[in-house]
């Protein structure tokens, strides 16, 4: 075995044992296969907010015991969606506490009668804390609003002559000092100013705390002996690809596994047996970001077939696999050994009416806009996005910095053991869910924590070490706005991701100071840490249609001019050690109400309705120019800046 292969195996070993630290079982994306069926429960659910003073009436009366409508009036609530903006009720928009969702699901007879079938309820995102009952029986509980959880409900649905089941989900959006993101409930006790029992939710992050069932709820089946998890890491040895796999099976000790890797034409290029192994792919097609190769985003399919000895095939699962490597040097970010420059955006899962609810229409519009812009990457600011979005990035060759919901960690109390323990768990859930996506090239464990506070050193050392143990194949970062010489977490990151808002949050209106301040920022950070740097946020608000020349704050001209000043320094420093620039933000988004926000944050280069502001055209020109310049593959035809390119998604 070559040393490279040994290190690859060691990496996979760590990845697997890391994942096994606390979590039980895998979290494979539910797919239909010859052995698995799927039933999405999207659509209208019954809904009721618990408006009682202590918000606990639903638990006291046990609303899960009987249909929700029997306890009082219910609303029809679309899933997936945030509940906040669906009605005209201010009380619901700003509601804090428990809301109840309920849906009756009709099950195919096979599912309820065939005891060799396992029926699983999966909730892809319930923000923030969820308790789940099926037919009045408690089946699951989960903390954290952005990652999936499941319950095996086979016994419940197979125990009687049932053809349907009643699913009840209670969700609480309250954020405390130890949740992720953290928040605080403040009781206002001055009776001269506030009514009795008055409280508000405070947060230190800049987006609206939308809540509800934000992604699909699905029921799916597997055989009772089933493929529980697959972990793939890849490496490259000259022109050959290496695919290391590890498969876990549940339900039996005695099984056989066959693994085949198919290329895009459906031809088998490698195969293996057993629950772990290495596939050797001669003359492999590597997974490249789009704009870096004439055939980007190449995906193989890893077909896994499980049988019990001498029995029929009992379970199938197919996983898309991209063969690629990621590495970081003192001044470069490498994908497949070639320097990669991030020219992209920060996003939010956010839109009119649906809030953070998953919506294919919006998702496709956003991908088309990313492509129009020539953006080659984005950060999932400030929480994990829907898996479907990651799958599209794999297919389209768009690179992702995958961020956990560690945003707004600013008070000392949020650096204690309780917070750290939960943060470690969330990283485990995130790595478990997203480890196999070639598009994910780096983990971000937090955004703008108070990383100059004393406990931050230990906190980030532990968090980053743990994340690296979970996945030694990807670099780890967190996004900072601390001073280069005060940041206690920076020594542990692989890439420095720094946010700055020169001439916006200070030196208002003084565009002329940006270049000096930005140059100093880069030079100080690099001198202190000798690590590649990404300008992970920069931007200015512009209210679409506001024009002012010479530029004034909030006009489209000011936003554009501010970006141009940043670009001029970025153009110097990207020749040295700056490896990326991500604009804040892709689109305007909803925030809490404050005097600093005009119906949300307006730093989008697109409006919330996805119409371009002047700055979008500037960035489009820049990104396509960067794509042409940084393209290493000189035989490619020049990419047109404003022309149409064939859509090869």
Instruction: Give the span between the Cα atoms of 605 and 618, in whole angstroms.
Output: 10
Whose CA is closest to 129, among 153, 104, 101, 97?
Answer: 97
445 contacts 467 by C-beta, under 8 angstroms: yes
CB of residue 582 to ligand GCB, shortest distance in Å? 11
By CB under 6 A, tell whether 608 contacts ligand GCB. no
For helices 614-630 and 556-573, the axis angle rounded to 10 degrees is 20
604 contacts 588 by C-beta, under 8 angstroms: yes
CB nearer ligand GCB, residue 183 or residue 320: 183
CB of residue 535 to ligand GCB, shortest distance in Å? 12
CB of residue 305 to ligand GCB, shortest distance in Å? 45
Q: Give Cα 241 distance to the centre of its chain.
A: 27
N- to C-terminal Cα separation, the chain:
37
By CB under 6 A, tell whether 203 contacts ligand GCB. no
Name the helix (H) or strand (E) containing 6: helix 3-19
Instruction: Give the span between the Cα atoms of 605 and 588, in whole angstroms.
Output: 7
Matching residue, tokens 């984005």 = 378
Pairing relationship of beta strands 129-134 and 183-187 according to DSSP bridges: unpaired
What number of other Cβ atoms are within 10 A of residue 308's Cβ?
17
CB of residue 171 to ligand GCB, shortest distance in Å? 24
By CB under 6 A, tell whether 537 contacts ligand GCB. yes
Name the helix (H) or strand (E) containing 360: helix 360-373
CB nearer ligand GCB, residue 382 or residue 613: 382
Site string for ligand GCB, 461-500 (x = CB under 6 A): --------------------x-----------------x-
Instruction: Give the span between the Cα atoms of 387 and 372, in whole angstroms.
Output: 23
By CB under 6 A, tell whether 206 contacts ligand GCB. yes
Whose CA is closest to 35, among 107, 114, 106?
Answer: 114
CB of residue 478 to ligand GCB, shortest distance in Å? 11
Residues in 208-247 at the binding interface with ligand GCB, rule: CB under 6 A: none
Number of residues that bind ligand GCB (CB under 6 A): 10
Would you call 584 helix, strand, or coil by DSSP?
A: coil
CB of residue 501 to ligand GCB, shortest distance in Å? 6
For helices 417-434 and 387-396, the axis angle rounded to 10 degrees is 50
By CB under 6 A, tell whether 448 contacts ligand GCB. yes
604 contacts 598 by C-beta, under 8 angstroms: no
CB of residue 347 to ligand GCB, shortest distance in Å? 11
CB nearer ligand GCB, residue 366 or residue 428: 366
Torsion of CA 106, 108, 109, 110, to 10 degrees: -140
For helices 514-529 and 556-573, the axis angle rounded to 10 degrees is 40
DSSP state of 204: S
Would you call 200 helix, strand, or coil by DSSP?
A: strand
Residues in 361-390 at the binding interface with ligand GCB, rule: CB under 6 A: 382
Q: Which of 601, 604, 606, 607 binds ligand GCB (CB under 6 A)?
A: 601
CB of residue 381 to ligand GCB, shortest distance in Å? 6
Over the range 627-646, which residues count as b (16 or more CB within 10 Å of their CB) and which as e? beebeeeeeeeeeeeeeeee
Kindly give, in sequence order, each residue whose CB lies less than 8 Å from that of residue 6, ignoring residues fewer than 6 positions away: none
Residues facing 126 on adjacent strands: 213
Site string for ligand GCB, 547-576 (x = CB under 6 A): ------------------------------
CB nearer ligand GCB, residue 228 or residue 537: 537
CB of residue 488 to ligand GCB, shortest distance in Å? 19
CB nearer ligand GCB, residue 143 or residue 403: 403
Q: Which one from 448, 537, 556, 581 is the annotated catalytic residue?
A: 448
Q: Does residue 512 carry a catalytic annotation?
A: no
CB nearer ligand GCB, residue 132 or residue 407: 407
Residues in 574-593 at the binding interface with ligand GCB, rule: CB under 6 A: 584
CB of residue 329 to ligand GCB, shortest distance in Å? 27
CB of residue 524 to ligand GCB, shortest distance in Å? 19
344 contacts 378 by C-beta, under 8 angstroms: yes
Q: Tokens for 6?
A: 């040994």
Kindly give, in sequence order, each residue whose CB lies less than 8 Å from that of residue 554, ignoring residues fewer than 6 positions away: 541, 542, 543, 546, 598, 602
By CB under 6 A, tell whether 603 contacts ligand GCB. yes
Torsion of CA 304, 307, 313, 317, to 10 degrees: -20
By CB under 6 A, tell whether 447 contacts ligand GCB. yes
Residue whose Cβ sits closest to ligand GCB: 206
Site string for ligand GCB, 11-30 (x = CB under 6 A): --------------------
By CB under 6 A, tell whether 129 contacts ligand GCB. no
SS (H, E, C) 337-395: CEECCEEEEECCCCECCCECCCCHHHHHHHHHHHHHHCCCEEECCCCCCCHHHHHHHHH
By CB under 6 A, tell whether 450 contacts ligand GCB. no
Sites of contact with ligand GCB (CB under 6 A): 206, 382, 447-448, 481, 499, 537, 584, 601, 603
Catalytic center residues: 448
């Amino acid at each position: 075995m070559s040393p490279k292969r040994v290190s690859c195996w060691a990496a996979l070993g760590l990845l697997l044992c890391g994942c096994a630290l606390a979590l039980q079982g895998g979290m494979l994306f539910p797919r239909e296969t010859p052995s698995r069926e799927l039933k999405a429960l999207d659509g209208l659910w019954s809904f009721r907010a618990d408006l009682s003073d202590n918000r606990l009436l639903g638990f006291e009366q046990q609303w899960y015991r009987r249909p929700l409508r029997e306890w009082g009036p219910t609303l029809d609530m679309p899933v997936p969606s945030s509940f906040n903006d669906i009605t005209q009720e201010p009380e619901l928009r700003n509601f804090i506490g428990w809301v109840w969702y309920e849906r009756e699901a009709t099950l195919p007879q096979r599912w309820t009668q065939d005891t060799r079938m396992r029926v699983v309820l999966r909730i892809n995102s319930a923000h923030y804390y969820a308790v789940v009952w099926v037919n009045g029986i408690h089946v699951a509980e989960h903390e954290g609003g952005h990652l999936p959880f499941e319950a095996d409900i086979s016994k419940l649905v197979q125990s009687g002559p049932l053809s349907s089941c009643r699913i009840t989900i209670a969700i609480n959006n309250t954020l405390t000092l130890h949740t992720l993101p953290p928040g605080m409930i403040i009781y206002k006790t001055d009776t001269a100013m506030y009514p009795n029992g008055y409280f508000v939710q405070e947060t230190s992050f800049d987006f609206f705390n939308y809540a509800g069932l934000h992604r699909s709820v699905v029921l799916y089946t597997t055989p009772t002996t089933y493929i529980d998890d697959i972990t793939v890491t890849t490496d490259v040895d000259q022109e050959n690809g290496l695919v290391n796999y590890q498969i876990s099976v549940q339900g039996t000790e005695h099984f056989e596994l066959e693994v085949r890797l198919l290329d895009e034409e459906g031809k088998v290029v490698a195969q293996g047996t057993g629950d772990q192994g290495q596939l050797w792919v001669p003359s492999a097609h590597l997974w490249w970001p789009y704009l870096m190769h004439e055939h980007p985003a190449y995906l193989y399919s890893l077909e896994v077939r499980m049988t019990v000895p001498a029995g029929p095939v009992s379970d199938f699962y197919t996983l898309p696999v991209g063969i690629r490597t990621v590495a970081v040097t003192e001044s470069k970010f490498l994908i497949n050994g070639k320097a990669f420059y991030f020219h992209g955006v920060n996003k939010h899962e956010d839109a009119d009416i649906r809030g953070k609810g998953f919506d294919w229409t919006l998702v496709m519009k956003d991908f088309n806009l990313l492509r129009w812009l020539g953006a080659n990457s984005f950060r999932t600011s400030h929480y994990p996005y829907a898996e479907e979005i990651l799958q599209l990035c794999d297919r389209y060759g768009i690179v992702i910095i995958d961020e956990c919901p560690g945003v707004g960690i600013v008070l000392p109390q949020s650096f204690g053991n309780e917070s750290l323990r939960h943060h470690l768990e969330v990283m485990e859930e995130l790595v478990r869910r997203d480890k196999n996506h070639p598009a994910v090239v780096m983990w971000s464990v937090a955004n703008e924590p108070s990383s100059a506070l004393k406990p931050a050193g230990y906190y980030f050392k532990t968090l980053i070490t743990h994340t690296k143990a979970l996945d030694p194949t990807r670099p780890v970062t967190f996004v900072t706005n601390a001073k280069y010489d005060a940041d206690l977490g920076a020594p542990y990151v692989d890439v420095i991701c720094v946010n700055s808002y020169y001439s916006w949050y200070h030196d208002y209106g003084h565009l002329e100071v940006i270049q000096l301040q930005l140059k100093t920022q880069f030079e100080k950070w690099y001198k202190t840490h000798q690590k590649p740097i990404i300008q992970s946020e920069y931007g200015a608000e512009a209210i679409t249609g506001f024009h002012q020349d010479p530029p004034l704050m909030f006009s489209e001209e000011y936003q554009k001019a501010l970006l141009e000043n940043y670009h001029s320094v970025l153009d110097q420093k990207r020749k040295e050690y700056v490896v990326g620039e991500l604009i804040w933000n892709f689109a305007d988004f909803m925030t809490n109400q404050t005097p600093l926000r005009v119906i949300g944050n307006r730093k989008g280069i697109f409006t919330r309705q996805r119409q371009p502001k002047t700055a979008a055209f500037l960035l489009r020109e820049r990104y396509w120019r960067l794509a042409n310049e940084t393209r290493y593959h000189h035989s490619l035809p020049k990419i047109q800046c404003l022309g149409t390119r064939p859509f090869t998604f």
